[in-house]
Chains A and B, each alone.
Chain A
């Protein structure tokens, strides 16, 4: 037997199950226990840039909305800086760039308010188009699904985005583009996530 390498193995994933809200969004489960639930305010009041709203559904293989899903959001600020010590640059006071979103139990609709992120640096000196990283857990999902949301009004930047260009099937790239519209004078992006279908959303192994 060759010697065993000293690395540990990552703890295996398990589904978050139907009652994920108890731990991560207890107010939605029906009881208030914490002084502050985390993840309600992604950008904070001081963030510069355009205020936007994102809405959508997560849709299963039968075409039905998934009503017990929990999504987490991770994004840069309007200058493309993430609120983290490993990326140089400042973010505004109160900008966390992270949020937690749950679906409506009856309709499956979810939504969040934030600022539109700016372009972030890519690998090897490239530039990534503005995007939001999403992580999705729910009953029936054994390992959290990672995807990215891009913006329909950034067509030029999307064309040169190094991650979108990794997707060999050009028609699948469109599943990552949120469609812009306006409601009451505010920018609204629609982003439906299809877990399983011909038009299935692209998921990433990050």
Chain B
């Protein structure tokens, strides 16, 4: 058994604030009182454990996980890969990474999406995988299209893939979005710009990774994910929980 260790405090000036006026939905969905800061207890340090029995190994292949036999979705074939690390730069092995996205037209396979962009009969838009012993993960998919949304009347989301990660403790639970290098919509997006620090925005932009492409087959982008790190040896001589 590893010794229980608490997570480094979250830097809430690095993350987007709850209230971000230009992202209109946040106006009524942001608490007006400050969050109460807790020192971690066992309830925050622990979190769900997933294993290979929970998922199918092909769940990470969006090019095939919804396609009819012999068929492929339409769009730019890409690999999204990277590592899940913590703030101490240690790999986070065996953790669940889930993604979801629109198709190449910018249309989601969701009963609430009524955008004109066409559904692709061979594309579902979700995938999941467990990181390996070094924290690595990868997905195959198509590059999603930009799509319009009702915020201001001419707002368009940059191409993005939603990413959900667990880590080892419930306090590390994180949902974010990955953007693509060079997309001119990134700088114009009210959701991206909820993040105050330009350096923080850069962390969500996946660079093109030609070294990871499969020549004549699939182009690649690299997206590393960093979860909260934890204290370690510094406090080990103190009684547990102190």
Which residues of A are at the interface with B, using a C-beta cutoff of 8 A? 6-24, 26, 29-31, 33-36, 38, 60-62, 66, 68, 72, 74, 76, 82-88, 96-98, 105, 120-125, 128, 131, 133, 135, 137-146, 148, 162-163, 166-167, 172, 195-197, 200-206
Contacts and interface: CB of A to CB of B under 8 A. Distances in A.
Pick the 4 closest A-B CB pairs, nearest first: A23-B100, A140-B25, A140-B29, A98-B48
Given A10-B87, A23-B98, A202-B36, 18 more contacts: A10-B227, A10-B228, A12-B195, A12-B204, A13-B16, A14-B162, A14-B195, A15-B177, A74-B46, A82-B46, A86-B3, A86-B168, A120-B41, A120-B43, A131-B43, A140-B23, A142-B23, A163-B38
A190 to B, nearest CB: 21
A121 B241 contact: yes
Contacts, number: 279
B73 to A, nearest CB: 13
B108 interface: yes
Contacts of B195: 12, 14
A204 B171 CA distance: 10
Contacts of B65: 33
Interface in B1-59: 1-4, 8-12, 14-18, 20, 23, 25-33, 35-50, 54-56, 59
A22 B126 contact: yes
11 contacts: A11-B225, A23-B162, A30-B109, A72-B173, A74-B43, A85-B49, A86-B2, A121-B241, A141-B18, A143-B18, A205-B38
Contacts of A35: 56
Contact of B45 (A60, A86, A162): A86
Contacts of A131: 43
Interface in B116-166: 124-126, 128, 162, 164
Contacts of A135: 170, 173
Q: Which among B38, B65, B203, B242 has the greatest number of chain A C-beta atoms within 10 A?
A: B38
Contact of B174 (A13, A23, A62, A123): A13
Contact of B43 (A60, A72, A128): A128
B129 to A, nearest CB: 12
Contacts of B113: 19
Q: Which among B29, B37, B228 has the greatest number of chain A C-beta atoms within 10 A?
A: B29
Given A9-B87, A23-B98, A60-B28, A16 B162 contact: yes
Contacts of B229: 7-8
Nearest to A7: B87
A98 B112 contact: no
B99 A23 contact: yes
Nearest to A203: B35
A133 B26 contact: no
B170 A133 contact: yes
Nearest to B35: A205
Nearest to B223: A11
Contacts of B50: 38
Given A74-B170, A145-B31, A24 B164 contact: yes
A139 B25 contact: yes
B176 interface: yes
B33 A200 contact: yes
B68 interface: no
B173 A19 contact: no
